[in-house]
Amino acid sequence: MSWSAWAPLAVLASSLVPGLVIFALPESKRRTRTALNLGGALLKLGLILAILWGVSEGQTYGVRLPFLPGLDLALRIGPLSLLFLVLSAGLWLVTTIYAVGYLEGSPHRRRFFGFFSLCVTATVGVAMADNLLTFVIFYELLSLATYPLVVHRGTEVARRAGQIYLAYTILGGALLLLGTVWLYTIAGTLDFTPRGFLERLPESQHPALVGIFVLLIAGLGVKAALVPFHGWLPQAMVAPAPVSALLHAVAVVKAGAFGIVVVVYDVFGVEFAASLGVTTPLAVLASVTIIYGSLRALFQDDLKRRLAFSTVSQVSYIALGVAVAGPIAAIGGVVHLVHQGLMKITLFFCAGNLAETLGIHKVSEMNGVGRRMPWTMAAFTVGALGMIGVPPIAGFVSKWYLGLGALEANQPWVILVLAGSSLLNAAYFLPILHAAWFREPPKSWPEEQRFGSAETGWMLLLPPLVTAALALGVGLFASMPFTPLEWARLIAELEFYPR
Amino acid sequence: MASAVSALGWGVALILLPLTGAVLAFVLRPLATRVGVGTALATTLATGGLALALVETGSGRYPIGGWEAPLGIALAADGLSLLMLAMTAAVGLAVSLYVPGYFRDKPRASADFWPLWLFLWAGLNGLYLSADLFNLYVTLELIGLAAVALAALAGSADALAGAMRYLLVSLVGSLFYLLGVALLYHAYGSLDIAILAEQVAASPPVWAALGLITAGLLLKTALFPLHFWLPPAHASAAAPVSALLSALVVKGSFYLLLRLWLTLFGAEAGGLGTLLGLLGAGAVLWGSLQALRQTRLKLLIAYSTVAQLGYLFLAFPLATGLAWGAAVYLALAHALAKAAMFLAAGNILMFGGHDRIADLDRVAQRLPLSVAAFALAGVSIMGLPPSGGFVGKWLLLQEAIAQGAWGWAAVLVLGGLLAAAYVFRVIGYAFTQAEVPQEPHAVPATLGWIAFLLALGAVLLGLVAPQPLALLGIGAPLGEIGTAP
């Protein structure tokens, strides 16, 4: 096998192997474990950047291994998968640094980091899948690998949250499996194809295809937290902060959203899906989710729960952009895959810092916290303003393209959804910022820990600063080469304007 | 020709080796463990030898002593028998290596175990290699009696009561089978399956034989609602025995039913296939719901067996090569996964002195390997990828949907969800934290590893599907396993 075949396998192995070794290491080998974690994360990022360079030079990367008679385990790295790969590998690196700092001294770190690595392995597998079977396999693997992280704290509340998480994801997986097998019996192939592979089927199959679309989107919607499948996400907040970051920005929710993009673009083909009449209901569902999530976020006092409902709302921008079925909205939706990840992970890191350093878990406890932890709150502010859509932060770029695309696709009602959502975002984020920067701090914090003269440990502070800077950077320099926006443009071009 | 003889040689060895081992282990009680482990290794090697010979020469019939049926007795081997033999060898070897550690403080139980288990192994191998209805009856009885004695081995009141019921069921099942065989012999004057296959035609004696044989074998396979005897017998036995009973013994009677269905009855069965499918669906749902309600780990695993056996019968109404292949694959995956689960439960029981699910806390931290084995086996039982259970479920689902049989598809999906519910009910408790009230007993590391490796096997079975399916094609016992929809 050549390098182009080995590359996808190496990307998988760069986190799978460290994960397995970590399971085998004794709990006390802290340094070795950290070295493995960081080494694996760096190696993976390096590999993916090398592949990125290769792809831009016109190289292709892919491998097929026989899995079932007639069906292969197929991996391929195209532009869309690269977008997701760079995102997850990059954010995994910062999350690993953060997690090492966050879990310092807590028990069961071997188990935690082992499953953490498996999680990322499953995520990059999802990103590289070249047929729906491969996608399903890694998607299910992701559900299983995340469960131990959600219940990591080992409390009764955590166990319950884990059961709820599983109930949702296993049900979603079952729907996805049913849809996939059904599709296979009708189409005879599951290979992802740009602009879809179902157009050639006879018209008599169209009702079945609509049924399959519903099953697939419902299965993916569970992870993407589409209403009414979002119930698990706020529950899963009991998990440690790095896990929340992983769930919300890097892996789980993203895998669902990415899956929706892939099903619409590479299985059905966006134009064929539109002609089946399934994209408008998806757009409506996404819009409902956007508004509903924001409304619920308004009334949460628990900071992480507020952020969780914000995720419910924000991730559906991706589905919305895809479902509007126009090239410009597609750019907005696809680029939001990255933008939301950068902003939301920043917010969760910051929330984790507040909880770890000062014991703050509630919005109502955040008065004046900006003076005690200025750097953390600066990063938080960038993330929050970005979510609202203030230029030049990343979120603005997404919303701009979504709005423009909706007009171009002649669906002006989407503008209303975007405007309403932005107002609501402002309504639940601005009070936090106001309280943090302009109110008087209390006499003492709920549970303060000292880190010398710094506001908190450097391993906790560095990650949110880096991601906040990136969120700012990808917005500010959106039109430079190799930015997420440029990739999203390339992806939309391939889907809408075949050469 | 030379290689054909060697296939016969391996086949005979597969029956004689465990039989000799059983006699030796019985006679030389102090050396029973050594004899047993040695026999297990030799039998496993012989299975490998037969596999190589069959790959080389294809399927075959081997008249013993050169006497062809109807005068003599023949052994027959094809892909289906080979996979069942391999399954028996894999689980058998693992259990044989597990037993010395498990019974290390109970020399009596250990010495009693070996002759019975090796008799059982000989019976199973004989079953998979026989081409003759009466021989099959003999092996069936040998298996039944050895299994009952093994179930009674634990010696507790529960175990004895369970074993007694098991004995009665086993005898009734064999009797029904024998009656059916007698009817066929009376009608056609032969007991050889191949000869009968050419002659059977729809007629009252054949229908009666079909009904009797199917009923007897269903009873032995514990298909819902004839499963009542299985949970007490399987759950109260010693852990390695539970593993053998759940993983291998019920598969023996399932194999026989499948074999007879494929060769003799398939064309005459009519609506009976649908009935078996319905009972299978009932087993999946009822067994899973019962498993969810259990408070003891071993009972939960035993009810899970009831549910998993149900899947195998969903192939009967679909009745295509792909559906049969899927059922066989599910049987293989279940054997490995269920043996791993019972052995892991045995470790947990040995460690904490109880198997109350709600009090399993801390076990995950003290016996991580055993819990990992349970979890990995659970992945296959749930049918999640990548695992042998997933491959079987995928193929069966594919066939069901291709035939438009949405009811069976729904049962498959629902069964997977229920399985996830009961597996994760256990795993959820493994993460919470509580004090261990009593002094735990140390568990030798090898016991954890054996359970873990079995579970790993069940998972890896999901990554190598093309190879076993190719082996299954030797002699095309299931017809064409077409896969493209």
Restricting to B residues 390-409, those with a Cβ less than 8 Å away from any Cβ of A are 390-391, 394-395, 397-398, 401-402, 409
- Asked if the structure places residue B16 within a domain, the reply is no
Closest-CA residue of A relative to B362 is A154
Q: Give counts: helices (H), strands (E), chain B.
A: 21, 2
A137 to each of A177, A180, A337, A480, B289, how far by Cα in Å? 9, 11, 22, 36, 26
**Is A435 an interface residue toward B (CB < 8 Å)?**
no
Number of domains in chain B: 1
Kindly state the percentage of chain A with pLDDT values over 90.
65
Report the SS3 class of residue A25: coil
The predicted-structure confidence for A128-180, as pLDDT tens digits, reads as follows: 999 999 999 999 999 999 999 998 888 888 888 999 999 999 999 999 999 99
Q: How far is B368 from chain A (nearest CA, A)?
A: 10
Which residues have C-beta within 8 Å of that of residue B71, sequence separation ≥ 6? none
C-alpha–C-alpha distance, residues B325 and A68, integer Å: 12
* Confidence category of residue B71, pLDDT binned at 50, 70, 90: low
Mean pLDDT of chain A: 91
Give the pLDDT confidence score for residue B342 in this predicted structure.
95
**Is A188 an interface residue toward B (CB < 8 Å)?**
yes
Say whether pLDDT at A498 is over 80: no
Which residues have C-beta within 8 Å of that of residue B377, sequence separation ≥ 6? B336, B337, B338, B340, B341, B344, B454, B455, B458
Listed range (A186-195, A367-376, B189-198) with the worst mean pLDDT: B189-198
pTM given for the model: 0.93
In chain B, what residues touch A111 (CB-CB under 8 Å)?
368
The arithmetic mean of pLDDT across residues B3-16, rounded, is 79
Domain limits at B461? Answer: 271-485
Give the pLDDT confidence score for residue B443 in this predicted structure.
83
* Confidence category of residue B132, pLDDT binned at 50, 70, 90: confident
Give the pLDDT confidence score for residue B72 in this predicted structure.
65
CA dihedral (B24, B25, B28, B32) in degrees, to 10, reads: 140
What is the number of other CB atoms lying within 10 angstroms of the CB of residue B285?
A: 17
* Confidence category of residue A1, pLDDT binned at 50, 70, 90: low
**A18 preceded by a cis bond (ω within 30 of 0):** no
C-alpha–C-alpha distance, residues B396 and B390, integer Å: 10
Strand intervals (E) in B23-96:
60-63, 74-77
- This model of the complex carries an ipTM of 0.91
* Confidence category of residue B67, pLDDT binned at 50, 70, 90: low
The predicted-structure confidence for A235-254, as pLDDT tens digits, reads as follows: 888 888 888 888 888 889 99
Interface with chain B: mutation pick from A131, A168, A181, A204, highest number of B CBs within 10 Å: A181
The predicted-structure confidence for B207-224, as pLDDT tens digits, reads as follows: 899 999 999 999 999 998
The predicted-structure confidence for B321-334, as pLDDT tens digits, reads as follows: 899 999 999 999 99
The arithmetic mean of pLDDT across residues B120-130, rounded, is 94
Say whether pLDDT at B351 is over 50: yes
The predicted-structure confidence for A319-350, as pLDDT tens digits, reads as follows: 999 998 888 999 999 999 999 999 999 999 99
Both ends of chain B: CA-CA distance in Å?
Answer: 39
* A151 contacts B394? CB cut-off 8 A: no
* Confidence category of residue B432, pLDDT binned at 50, 70, 90: confident
* A140 contacts B398? CB cut-off 8 A: no
DSSP A318-384: HHHHHHTTSHHHHHHHHHHHHHHHHHHHHHHHHHHHHHHHH---BGGG-TTHHHHSHHHHHHHHHHH
Listed range (A107-111, A334-338, B476-480) with the worst mean pLDDT: B476-480
Q: Which two tokens stand for residue B414?
A: 């629902």
Q: Which residue has the higher pLDDT, A106 or A32?
A: A32
**A442 preceded by a cis bond (ω within 30 of 0):** no
* Confidence category of residue B2, pLDDT binned at 50, 70, 90: very low
**Is B466 an interface residue toward A (CB < 8 Å)?**
yes
Say whether pLDDT at A72 is over 70: yes
In chain A, what residues touch B409 (CB-CB under 8 Å)?
178, 181
**Is B145 an interface residue toward A (CB < 8 Å)?**
no
Helices B297-313 and B321-352 cross at an angle (nearest 10°) of 180
**Is A204 an interface residue toward B (CB < 8 Å)?**
no
**Is A20 an interface residue toward B (CB < 8 Å)?**
no
Say whether pLDDT at B61 is over 90: no
C-alpha–C-alpha distance, residues B54 and B471, integer Å: 9
The predicted-structure confidence for B262-276, as pLDDT tens digits, reads as follows: 888 777 777 888 999
Give the pLDDT confidence score for residue B1 in this predicted structure.
42
DSSP B201-224: -S-HHHHHHHHHHHHHHHHHHT-T
The predicted-structure confidence for A412-458, as pLDDT tens digits, reads as follows: 999 999 999 999 999 999 999 999 999 998 888 888 888 777 888 88
Q: Which of A137, A155, A171 sits opposite B386 (nearest CB)?
A: A137
The predicted-structure confidence for B158-181, as pLDDT tens digits, reads as follows: 889 999 999 999 999 999 999 999
Q: Which residue has the higher pLDDT, B69 or B398?
A: B398
- Asked if the structure places residue B4 within a domain, the reply is no
Give the pLDDT confidence score for residue A334 in this predicted structure.
92
Say whether pLDDT at A260 is over 80: yes
* A151 contacts B485? CB cut-off 8 A: no
DSSP A445-466: -TT---BTBBSS-HHHHHHHHH
Stated as kind and residue range, the H or E segment containing B283 is helix B272-293
Q: How far is A7 from chain B (nearest CA, A)?
A: 20
Do B142 and B123 form a contact (C-beta atoms < 8 A)? yes
